[in-house]
């Protein structure tokens, strides 16, 4: 359920990472606006959108950071990893290289996060609508997810299939961790953003939300 309002019980910082052209921005726009653009423009640097949801009687604000997949922006994206509660790693099921490079993205995230910070990850195979061009079978994703003890799902930003489930399941997982004590509400709220990050969040206010 979506809610509007300034007050949130919990704030989560979630980053979307992966190679260029896999559909990171498209997944986010499908989730936030329920729209899809065939001619989406490549992200430069980073873009932040937010969404309020309600789970278990808690108002949750998700600040979702859409990073650029192009190699030249990769170093920049790493600057925003700090304080993240969750990472969404996206590949394109029709592009083997984008799947093979997941390990590198996951390594980058693990290296940047400090030891005392807990975070969750999910691997997302996008473009599920392109079944006839599929290069990575679902079984391969399943094995990779289980091997790395990471959640996984296939979606299509184009048709919308799986996109809500992706975010709902992920937030449930983040909440589960908070409940068993890994995250206390205060700690979640206190995860600080740098002033640059704060200005980015306010610059990218989305019309459907009250960031
Ligand atoms: P960067 O900003 O360069 O990192 O790319 P990105 O990962 O954000 O990809 P983006 O969302 O810009 O999508 C890249 C291209 O793939 C666009 O032409 C989209 O229209 C297309 N695309 C994204 N998701 C899907 C999908 O689920 N199915 C199909 N068929 N095309 C998609």
Residue 201, pLDDT above cutoff 80: no
CA distances to 97, 132, 157, 161 from 129, rounded to whole Å, are: 19, 9, 9, 9
For the chain, give the percent of residues with pLDDT over 90.
50
Q: Determine the residue of 16, 40, 164 to mutate for testing ligand 1's pocket, defined as the one with the most ligand atoms within 8 A of the Cβ atom.
A: 40
Residue 166 CA to ligand 1 centre (angstroms): 17
> 88-97, 142-151, 201-210: lowest mean pLDDT where?
201-210
In the predicted model, is pLDDT for residue 19 greater than 80? yes
pLDDT digits (tens, 9 = 90+) for 57-67: 888 889 999 98
What is the rounded CA–CA span in Å between residue 18 and residue 180?
Answer: 30
**Residue partners of 72: CB distance under 8 A and separation at least 6:** none
Cα(196)–Cα(203) distance, rounded to whole angstroms?
10
Residues within a 6 A CB radius of ligand 1 = 20-26, 37-38, 40, 42-43, 68-70, 126-127, 129-130, 156-158
And the tokens for 123?
């691997």
Determine the Cα–Cα distance for residues 23 and 182; give it in Å rounded to an integer. Answer: 31
Strand order in the sheet with 86-92: 46-55, 58-67, 10-17, 86-92, 120-126, 151-154
């Amino acid at each position: 359920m979506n809610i509007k309002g300034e007050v949130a019980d919990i704030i989560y910082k979630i980053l979307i990472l992966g190679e260029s052209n896999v559909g990171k921005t498209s997944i986010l726009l499908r989730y936030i606006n329920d729209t899809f653009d065939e001619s989406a423009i490549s992200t430069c640097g980073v873009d932040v959108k937010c969404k309020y949801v309600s789970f278990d009687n808690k108002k949750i604000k998700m600040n979702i950071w859409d990073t650029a997949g192009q190699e030249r922006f990769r170093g920049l994206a790493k600057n925003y990893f700090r304080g993240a509660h969750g990472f969404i790693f996206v590949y394109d099921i029709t592009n083997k290289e984008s799947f093979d490079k997941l390990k590198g993205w996951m390594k980058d995230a693990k290296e940047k996060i400090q030891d005392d910070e807990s975070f969750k990850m999910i691997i997302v195979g996008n473009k599920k609508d392109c079944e006839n061009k599929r290069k990575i079978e679902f079984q391969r994703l399943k094995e990779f997810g289980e091997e790395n003890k990471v959640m996984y799902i296939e979606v299509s930003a184009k048709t919308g299939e799986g996109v809500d489930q992706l975010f709902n399941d992920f937030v449930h997982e983040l909440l589960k961790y908070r409940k068993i004590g890994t995250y206390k509400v205060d700690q979640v709220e206190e995860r600080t953003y740098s002033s640059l990050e704060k200005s980015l969040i306010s610059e990218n206010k989305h019309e459907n939300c009250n960031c």
